[in-house]
Amino acid sequence: MEREDALAGLDPEQREVAEAVRGPVCVLAGAGTGKTRAITHRIAHAVRTGVVDAQSVLAVTFTTRAAGELKQRLRSLGAHGVQARTFHAAALRQLTYFWPRVIGGEPPRVVESKLPLLIEACRTVRRNPDRGELRDVAAEIEWAKVTQTVPEEYAALAAKAGRTPPIPAQEVAHLYEAYETLRRQRHLVDFETILELTAAVMTEHEEVASEIRRQYRYFVVDEYQDVNPLQKLLLDTWLGGRDDICVVGDPNQTIYSFSGATPRYLTNFAVEHPSATVVKLVRDYRSTPQVVGLANSVLAKARTPHRLELVAQRPEGPKPVFAECDDEPAEAGAVAARVKELIAQGVPSREIAVLFRVNAQSELYEQAFTQVGVPYLLRGAERFFERPEVRQAVVLLRGAARSANDAEPLAQAVHGILAGIGLTAEAPGGGAARERWESLNALAELAEDIAAEGGDLPRFVAELERRATEQHAPPIEGVTLASLHAAKGLEWDAVFLVGLTDGMLPIIYAETPEQVEEERRLLYVGITRARAHLHLSWALARSPGGRKARRPSRFLDGLTGGATPAGRPGSPVRDRKERRPGQARLAAPISCRVCGKTLTVGAEQKLGRCATCPADYDQELLERLKLWRTKAAKEAKVPTYVVFTDVTLQALAERVPTNEEDLLAIAGIGRVKLERYGEAVLEICRGGEVT
């Protein structure tokens, strides 16, 4: 590979990155600006010019899929031998290698999930939380560990950080301590402990640190805006005071602050490294000017000093579509109909995505696509190579490869094997059978690609094993249904952003200005997933016939133009004024309904009475409301207090509202919660069943 080959086809800014072969280097790369191209060409150029040996490079990213993509691109550029791994994979490899030498005995076993140990920990502290609460507690423990917060400090530091744990903070601390005790007793490590122990082994054993630092002296870190304090600690330990490091990230795509990630390592890189080369990539090669223009407009009101304004490089495309619907089923139906039109116009279903804020929103779209006969797949569910039918197919193909008949063409052999476990000439209508068929068909199409390159069955099986290691799934026909968080790093020809109402985006529990701004960036991430077709929609009511009290997301204020309600021509959407984050609302004083005293304490205002004043309430109704709240929280995948606090449930049981006005009279129940939960709560108060 000649010098120009590693630099060919790069734009001026990408070339500047590639030619900055010595660190420290900071690349601020906007969405769709070719950051992976820039950093892989930089590594290839450094290897080709003798600046570094390929084996001395460690490229670190956050997902196995991204690491696999880096490896694939580096191989195509001739940079063989470069290690591209996730933080956890790189650390686990080092920890496992050095453990017998410096610790002794077998390395600890990795736990994939904290939940089994947490269930045991609950027994030791005599607590019986539901599974939804346990998931939230696990997230709190992960935050504590990545921020290096020990159990005895959790309550104070969680309060200082403005966190709202699902159960009292002191109880989280007790569970955290019990979880850590069990983990150590069982000789187990979780993902955070892997990083922590690797850094500790290097710090305490100089010979280990020296060996690792001799091996790796050239570092590249992708998605640097998502680095958390524990990952930064390990990275600094790897570097050992050296500065041959290139970091790449986009402050506009910081959407994981809730898990401990912070963009300050990216935005302060030049402060930490005064001699750093800083390059901005803003030429967007992914999206049309129309999509890029909307993305820039959404961020124009963002409260950040590090905003990257994208410059579109693609030809003109269709304008983004804004659609207002009467209710959520109508919204899902309109999206499914439009998706079917796009497929008829030649857009492959695998190049279409429907993105939502929380996973619970997917059900309506699964139903709508099934009704119109459009295949779909849920992202964030099982990984492709972990699906039962794929595992079964790989076992059969591996066995066949050991006794392969060279006379039989590869594609024919694979089709014959897959036909025996369910691959048919025609796809089934939908549901689980269709998903299974799509998996097998993806394997068959991959076999045809390998056959066209002259490959045989053993080579095909080797390719499957490589892809399984790197989580490099073959493309599957079907519309992608995914959360906005799960969509990060991906792109499609057509993207549908759904459920864009205040209370959903921004989510109802985003209360601080910082949390609201992160929700704005989440919308920006969703918009920038689209190459050409972009459809944004919202529903005024939850269900048909419901009160149409919802309003479009405040992030769309001033941007929807003359958006037309879906199915109702005319009636343009009016722009709404945005209330500034943190701006107070003036409220009338609330008096105790028993003694008439003005209430000043929040809990008393919600109850509508002094805490010391007597009040009768229906205990059975309170229990039924708690049962409903637990189910609603599980469905929305949020803590129970986000639905309604205990005090609000107590107020409902005392006052037994009969209509929407009664509900709104209870402090803490506003229009958003009325629209989302009002019908269900009123039905329970009337004696209806908990559904």
Least confident range of 246-260, 473-487, 582-596: 582-596
Number of residues that make up the chain:
691
The CA-based dihedral angle spanning residues 169, 170, 171, 174, taken in that order and rounded to the nearest 10 degrees: 130
* Adjacent-strand bridge partners of 534: 495
DSSP 321-336: EEEEEEEHHHHHHHHH
19-32 pLDDT per residue, tens:
999 879 999 999 99
Query: Bridge-partner residues for 355, per DSSP?
Result: 482, 497
Contacts of the segment 71-78: beta carbons below 8 A, 24+ positions apart: 71/470, 72/470, 72/472, 73/36, 73/37, 73/40, 74/40, 74/43, 74/44, 77/1, 77/5, 77/6, 77/40, 77/41, 77/43, 77/44, 78/1, 78/44, 78/47, 78/48
364: tokens are 């309506």
List Cβ neighbours of 219 (8 Å cut-off, separation of 6 or more): 23, 57, 58, 59, 60, 235, 238, 239, 244, 245, 246
Q: What pLDDT score was predicted for residue 45?
A: 92
137-159 average pLDDT score:
91
Q: At residue 604, does pLDDT exceed 60?
A: no
Residues 288-309 have pLDDT tens digits of 999 999 999 999 887 766 778 8
**Which of 55-64, 120-129, 159-168, 521-530 has the largest mean confidence?**
521-530
The DSSP 8-state label assigned to residue 503 in this structure reads B
Q: Are 440 and 418 in contact (CB under 8 A)?
A: yes
585 with 564: CB under 8 angstroms?
no
- Residue 580 confidence (pLDDT): 36
**620-674 pLDDT, tens digit each:** 888 888 888 888 887 777 777 678 877 788 888 888 888 887 787 776 677 778 8
Query: Which pLDDT score is estimated for 568?
Result: 40
pLDDT confidence of residue 579: 37
User: Whole-structure pTM over 0.75, yes or no?
Assistant: no
Residues whose CB is less than 8 angstroms from the CB of residue 79 and which lie 6 or more positions away in sequence, other chains included: 40, 43, 44, 47, 48, 54, 57
The one-letter code for the residue type at 11 is: D
Percent of the chain with pLDDT over 90: 40
Mean predicted lDDT score pLDDT of the chain? 83
Question: CA–CA distance from 425 to each of 408, 410, 438, 448 (Å)?
Answer: 20, 18, 12, 15
Please give the pLDDT value at position 612. Answer: 58
The pLDDT of residue 511: 77
DSSP per residue, 246-284: EEEE-GGG---GGGT--THHHHTHHHHSTT-EEEEE-EE
**Residue 531 above 90 pLDDT?**
yes
Q: What is the pLDDT of residues 552-584, one digit of tens each?
A: 999 998 888 654 455 443 333 433 333 333 333
What confidence score (pLDDT) does residue 393 get? 86
Question: Tokens standing for 144?
Answer: 């504590």
Nearest to 251 by CA among 267, 235, 271: 267
Q: Residue 468: pLDDT band by 50, 70, 90 thresholds?
A: confident
Q: If you average pLDDT over residues 458-465, what whole number do you get?
A: 84
Return the pLDDT at 573. Answer: 42
Residue 594: pLDDT band with limits 50, 70, 90: low
Comparing CA positions, the residue from 307, 332, 312 lying closest to residue 530 is 312
CB contact set of 74 (below 8 Å; sequence gap of 6+): 40, 43, 44, 59, 80, 82, 84
pLDDT tens per residue across span 164-220: 888 888 888 999 999 999 999 999 999 999 999 999 999 999 999 999 999 999 999
Residue 597, pLDDT score:
59
- Give the pLDDT confidence score for residue 581 in this predicted structure: 36
Measured CA to CA, the distance from residue 356 to residue 495 in angstroms comes to: 11
CB distance 550 to 675 below 8 Å: yes
The one-letter amino acid at 114: K
Diameter of the chain measured on Cα atoms: 93
Q: Are 26 and 268 in contact, with CB atoms under 8 Å apart?
A: no
The confidence score (pLDDT) of residue 375 equals 85
Q: For a pLDDT cut of 70, what percent of the chain falls above it?
A: 86
Q: What is the pLDDT of residue 467?
A: 77
Q: Using CB atoms within 10 Å of the CB of residue 200, give its burial: 0 to 12 exposed, 13 to 18 middle, 19+ buried.
A: middle
* Buried b / exposed e along 356-387 (16+ C-beta atoms within 10 A): bbbbebbebbbebbbeeebbbbbeeeeebbeb
Write down the residue that tokens 């539901």 correspond to. 130
- Distance, in Å, from the CA atom of 357 to the CA atom of 494, rounded to the nearest integer, reads 18
pLDDT average, residue stretch 40-55 = 92
Of the pLDDT bands very low, low, confident and very high (cuts 50, 70, 90), residue 3 is: very low
Between residues 589 and 419, the one the model is more confident about: 419
CA distance 119 to 129: 9
Residue 351 has pLDDT above 50, yes or no: yes
